[in-house]
Structure 1
């Protein structure tokens, strides 16, 4: 191989330097460095040996045959800032002579530019990492404050952290009554069997740090003597970060990578620790938000109970007045009809009390469950317009006997009937009846819906469907 023409060397050096600064991929930069050094010096072999496995790979980057051949060797360090990144080894000088000072200066210029480019790439990558972690923390906070329950909230934190950290799993551990820590939530693309429920037993060397709210960083979970969980053999590098806010330790966020994967960098550790702090604060705020929502539900239930008390007392008082009036009437005044009306009023009152009690048993955080709950929800919506809650009566086990598709059609029919009642002038008192023990004209079991009101123009609305 002959050396490069002297007249063109400077021009090619400038081209090579410019080429080193056009890509933020460290692997591309290193390959261009090696190729440029070989071209500008005419070396038969150029190898870049890195201090640690990284973009260049464990064996470095090579141009030409293996440098084990005898002959002159030129060694030029590659530095990134104050850090020693690797060494360029050039062998096989054309003509068998030694490399010149000019050769060394050319290679040093290339190595310096490569170090600058790799440093810039690291800064860019770190900035992108910070941006992703900040966006992830904001997304978790938004998700937690939109009303997720406690279990879903922990899953959200574990899943988002796993993706941000490029980890094999996102794991949440919480303190146990026995003084250990138990895995309660796991997010992993692999089989999670055997992970949830695993316990760090009391007395484990790592436990004091975790319960004290200190982060723990492991180079290899499988071999670290501080780890005692039965699933530790699955993982390698790991971070265990406290979920702590306002002096309250919610638990620990663990982010293990697979065995033999790259360890976490100092930047990744810092960003993950900040994410865990933000997530813990969001968990505390979400829990407080759910507490306020439950309190609001309980307060609303107190109001319902008061309204129910007033309704029942008024109706029973009126019924009592009816019965007392029978003492002052004769048989010719149709006392029997009056008693029938009083009995019907008492039956309706008992039905409304039963319906109200079932409504109050509905879990606060859940939507209305079953046909009964859905009918009550429609009645509550209509009450806001009518000014008074409709009387709602159920006959038979409506939640068990009425199939879902039939229940959907019944609710649609109820919604239309209530809309008609709301539009009718003078409609103030609406009655809703759902009978799951009815029969259709052919004698088959059926469910029947009846809606009526007290307006002058009202006619009772009837709807039925076979079961």
Structure 2
């Protein structure tokens, strides 16, 4: 039986099936866009997928996205299909129908063969890039903060099929969802940028408050030493000792700057697996309790030799020592030094991992010794971790009349 002689019931069934397939295509396209929105970091990737999926779901020859920019201008940023290269990047005047659809939220359709005529829409209402097509559908993307985002444009070649009411309804629903996806992606990208800016601000503050001040203090020490050396009967041994101390301080500052550079350059994948990054993350978390950012320095090939169990124990030891400083010390400064020292011949079997944490809080604590009464305290946990790895633990007064030094040292297995 030919299509021309089929029964009305069969024709209705065929039309219903076609409409169902069309809705399924649009639903699949919307699902793809939402999925990418959850994964993509670049809003342009979402825009590209929106245009490609909309063109595929509608069966249109062309799809483009007209978007408003921060300076108020309107531009076709994404185009797919027929004449995409000639349309993409074109600016559109605000009085054009495609812009008004984005502003009002009301869709617009143009019959096939009327794009170049001064009929229903008129050429004055059509932006020049769209006058090359036949049938056209304009559907507004969802607004963002009561401001228009843009317009989804579907078009067919001259002489192609017209879009019906169902096409317009499905395109409008898809465009609304696509606008929401784009707004969420941009919001997440903005949040990520704010997090980066906040981290940069923290690093800049640390460099100013800690590193630069130490360099300034080292410079003052050298000036004082220079004046003493220029006087009569200079004390050469004392001057040499003071110079060595300044050199040690500058070495420490250089190590801090290297740590800062590493923190800036670390990628997301490296951060997830790097022992160094995990230590830095623990220091950042401790800052919320301490009220300031601890100073962290690294020496030796930490990530090359420390991982697995030893890395996990190190991170836990850093967490416990910083928690101890926050609870008991009342410190205004905490220094964390993580060092990997190679033994004779630089063999991995002779390497040692050392965690040294120094604070300036309160009176010096007495030397810690294990006791049944301290079985639940963090220092006892640190000692147990060191013993488990065949290492040693020491906690006691720092040099001078204030502060505490905690040293946790373990051998590294090959």
Q: Which residue of structure 1 lines up, in the alignment, with residue 297 of structure 2? A: 391
Distance 1:276 1:456, change over 3 A: closer
Calculate the TM-score normalised by the size of structure 2.
Answer: 0.58
The 5 A counterparts of 1:440-459 are: 453=354
Q: Which residue of structure 2 lines up, in the alignment, with residue 145 of structure 1? A: 38
Report how many residues are paired: 308
Where does structure 2 lack aligned partners over 5 or more consecutive residues? 118-122, 229-233, 287-293, 319-335, 342-350, 356-407
Q: Which residue of structure 1 lines up, in the alignment, with residue 247 of structure 2? A: 343
Distance 1:345 1:419, change over 3 A: farther
Distance 1:417 1:310, change over 3 A: farther
| Match 1:242 to one of 109, 132, 140 | 140
Secondary structure, counterpart of 1:248 in structure 2? coil
Secondary structure, counterpart of 1:172 in structure 2? strand
Q: Does the CA contact (< 8 Å) of 2:102 and 2:148 recur in 1?
A: no
Q: Which residue of structure 1 lines up, in the alignment, with residue 91 of structure 2? A: 199
Q: Which residue of structure 1 lines up, in the alignment, with residue 47 of structure 2? A: 154
Q: Which residue of structure 1 lines up, in the alignment, with residue 194 of structure 2? A: 295
Cα distance in 1 between the residues matched to 2:307 and 2:217: 30
Q: Does the CA contact (< 8 Å) of 1:382 and 1:418 recur in 2?
A: no
Secondary structure, counterpart of 2:66 in structure 1? strand
Distance 1:383 1:432, change over 3 A: farther
Secondary structure, counterpart of 2:174 in structure 1? helix
Higher mean C-alpha displacement, 131-140 vs 276-285: 131-140
Q: Which structure has the highest strand share of the two?
A: 1
The 5 A counterparts of 1:110-125 are: 114-125=7-18
Secondary structure, counterpart of 2:128 in structure 1? coil
Distance 1:350 1:215, change over 3 A: same
Q: Does the CA contact (< 8 Å) of 2:138 and 2:151 recur in 1?
A: yes
Q: Does the CA contact (< 8 Å) of 1:183 and 1:195 recur in 2?
A: yes
Q: Which residue of structure 1 lines up, in the alignment, with residue 23 of structure 2? A: 130
Cα distance in 2 between the residues matched to 1:129 and 1:317: 71
Structure ID, larger Rg: 1
Cα distance in 2 between the residues matched to 1:336 and 1:135: 76
Cα distance in 1 between the residues matched to 2:15 and 2:93: 40
Secondary structure, counterpart of 1:183 in structure 2? strand
Q: Is 1:430 paired with 2:327?
A: no
Q: Which structure has the highest helix share of the two?
A: 2
Cα distance in 1 between the residues matched to 2:169 and 2:262: 52
Q: Which residue of structure 2 lines up, in the alignment, with residue 263 of structure 1? A: 162
Q: Does the CA contact (< 8 Å) of 2:101 and 2:151 recur in 1?
A: no
Tell me the CA shift for residue 148 of structure 1. 2.6
**Greater relative contact order: 1 or 2 (C-alpha under 8 angstroms, separation 6 or more)?**
2
Distance 1:307 1:165, change over 3 A: same
Q: Which residue of structure 2 lines up, in the alignment, with residue 415 of structure 1? A: 303
Secondary structure, counterpart of 1:267 in structure 2? helix
Q: Does the CA contact (< 8 Å) of 1:432 and 1:451 recur in 2?
A: yes
Cα distance in 1 between the residues matched to 2:29 and 2:196: 32
Tell me the CA shift for residue 125 of structure 1. 2.3
Distance 1:200 1:383, change over 3 A: closer
Q: Does the CA contact (< 8 Å) of 1:241 and 1:252 recur in 2?
A: yes
Cα distance in 2 between the residues matched to 1:270 and 1:353: 59
Cα distance in 2 between the residues matched to 1:185 and 1:392: 47
The 5 A counterparts of 1:321-400 are: 335-350=239-254, 352-353=256-257, 356=260, 359=263, 367=267, 379-384=276-281, 391=297
Cα distance in 2 between the residues matched to 1:215 and 1:254: 10
Tell me the CA shift for residue 324 of structure 1. 12
Tell me the CA shift for residue 321 of structure 1. 11
Distance 1:432 1:283, change over 3 A: farther
Cα distance in 2 between the residues matched to 1:130 and 1:376: 45
Where does structure 1 lack aligned partners over 5 or more consecutive residues? 1-31, 35-55, 62-87, 89-110, 395-412, 434-449, 462-467
Distance 1:254 1:160, change over 3 A: same
Distance 1:456 1:266, change over 3 A: closer
Tell me the CA shift for residue 300 of structure 1. 4.0
Q: Does the CA contact (< 8 Å) of 1:215 and 1:239 recur in 2?
A: yes
Secondary structure, counterpart of 2:181 in structure 1? helix
